[in-house]
């Protein structure tokens, strides 16, 4: 698949009518092959949670309705949904009439499931904002020198095999670039693990080394999870990135050790 085939990389007309054909699936295998992940047995569990802030349609009498919504796509689906195509698809509801809000929800769930190749959970509303977290270490407070901005450098990762801990850390300094348009993607990354203590300075340098890297959101999170497992062999690992919105959408990929429970759904301040 070339970038010219993606709706993200070219001008498109604003949709005037409901059109599920606007959704553009991308095989997850494309990004996973670069991480030597192949086949149906994944080394992680996870999901991609989308927040939609600009959802509207017409009721049976033509009156506009508005809503927010959350879509959760399982990480083991064969396809991810390209972001601009999702935006265009949601915009196609704007001038179309539907019998009820539940009809809209059901159509979105069915259309996204067909595109992703797996059941997709859809409900109206958004998760709450992150509250106070005294037990989360803020990596961004570290006073360290950094001069590596890409490509992602797992060589920065180091751990102390003699010091087994349970830890939660965060950084708002994760930035990568869209592989098609080159536009920046910003995120807060949240890592929770049990195992050898990961060197905080090295972890922050590693996350910053994504700064000039071009890769989709979902693939960046899978790369972070894969590199941490390879370098530090944690017993349990959870990696979630809360990306800022673009075009009324934000995405929050989460990957974790098999058997892990999903994290509490929340939104970061910048979302």
Please report, for the domain that includes residue 107, its CATH number: 3.30.1130.10
Are residues 152 and 248 located together in one domain of the fold? yes
H/E element, 25: strand 25-27
Are residues 108 and 175 located together in one domain of the fold? no
Q: Is 246 exposed, middle or buried (0-12, 13-18, 19+ CB in 10 A)?
A: middle
**Taking a C-beta distance cutoff of 8 angstroms, is the pair 179, 3 a contact?**
yes
156 among the known binding-site residues? no
Any domain includes 3: no
Q: Is 218 exposed, middle or buried (0-12, 13-18, 19+ CB in 10 A)?
A: buried
Are residues 112 and 215 located together in one domain of the fold? no
Are residues 111 and 147 located together in one domain of the fold? no
218 among the known binding-site residues? yes
Show which residues are catalytic.
Answer: 178, 185
Are residues 158 and 244 located together in one domain of the fold? yes
What confidence score (pLDDT) does residue 16 get? 82
Are residues 105 and 143 located together in one domain of the fold? no
Are residues 61 and 108 located together in one domain of the fold? yes
82 among the known binding-site residues? yes
Are residues 145 and 115 located together in one domain of the fold? no
Q: Is 61 exposed, middle or buried (0-12, 13-18, 19+ CB in 10 A)?
A: exposed
pLDDT averaged over consecutive 10-residue blocks of the chain (271 residues)? 49 80 95 89 96 97 98 97 95 97 98 98 97 93 97 97 95 95 95 98 98 96 98 98 96 98 96 95
**Taking a C-beta distance cutoff of 8 angstroms, is the pair 118, 74 a contact?**
yes
Per-residue DSSP letter, 127: P
Are residues 98 and 141 located together in one domain of the fold? no
Any domain includes 267: no
Are residues 186 and 113 located together in one domain of the fold? no
The reported pTM is 0.93
Which residue shows structure tokens 């979302």?
Answer: 271
What confidence score (pLDDT) does residue 8 get? 52
Are residues 61 and 147 located together in one domain of the fold? no
What are the structure tokens assigned to 86, written together? 């999702």
Any domain includes 4: no
What confidence score (pLDDT) does residue 63 get? 98
What confidence score (pLDDT) does residue 1 get? 41
Tally of structural domains, the chain: 2
What counts of helices (H) and strands (E) characterise the chain?
A: 5, 10
83 among the known binding-site residues? yes
Structural domain containing residue 113: 25-124
Residues sharing a CB contact under 8 Å with residue 257, sequence separation 6 or more, in sequence order: 44, 45, 234, 235, 236, 237, 238
Q: How far is it, in rounded angstroms, from Cα 66 to Cα 196?
A: 48
Any domain includes 53: yes
Any domain includes 269: no
Per-residue DSSP letter, 235: S
What confidence score (pLDDT) does residue 4 get? 46
Q: What are phi and psi of 82, to 5 degrees?
A: -65, 135
Any domain includes 251: yes
E-strand ranges in the chain read: 25-27, 45-58, 64-74, 79-81, 121-124, 137-138, 159-177, 184-198, 236-243, 249-256
Are residues 65 and 163 located together in one domain of the fold? no
């Amino acid at each position: 698949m070339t970038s010219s085939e993606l709706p993200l990389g070219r001008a498109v007309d604003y949709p005037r009518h409901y059109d599920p054909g606007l959704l553009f699936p991308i095989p997850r295998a494309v990004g996973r092959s670069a991480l030597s992940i192949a086949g149906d047995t994944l080394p992680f569990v996870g999901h991609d949670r989308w927040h939609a802030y600009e959802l509207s349609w017409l009721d049976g009498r033509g009156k506009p309705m508005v809503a927010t919504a959350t879509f959760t796509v399982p990480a083991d689906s064969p396809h991810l949904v390209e972001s601009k195509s999702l935006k265009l698809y949601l915009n196609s509801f704007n001038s179309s009439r539907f019998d009820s809000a539940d009809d809209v929800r059901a159509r979105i769930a069915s259309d996204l499931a067909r595109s992703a190749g797996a059941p997709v959970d859809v409900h109206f509303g958004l998760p709450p904002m992150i509250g106070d977290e005294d037990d989360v270490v803020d990596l961004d407070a570290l006073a360290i020198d950094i001069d590596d901005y890409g490509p992602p450098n797992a060589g920065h990762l180091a751990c102390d095999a003699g010091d087994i801990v349970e830890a939660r850390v965060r950084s708002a300094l994760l930035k990568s670039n869209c592989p098609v348009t080159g536009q920046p993607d910003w995120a807060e990354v949240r890592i929770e693990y049990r195992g050898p203590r990961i060197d905080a300075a090295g972890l922050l340098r590693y996350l910053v080394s994504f700064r000039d890297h071009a890769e989709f959101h979902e693939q960046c999170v899978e790369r972070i999870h894969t590199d941490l497992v390879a370098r530090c062999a944690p017993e349990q690992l959870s990696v979630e990135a809360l990306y800022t919105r673009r075009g009324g959408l934000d995405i929050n990929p989460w990957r974790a050790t098999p058997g892990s429970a999903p994290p509490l759904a929340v939104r970061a301040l910048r979302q």
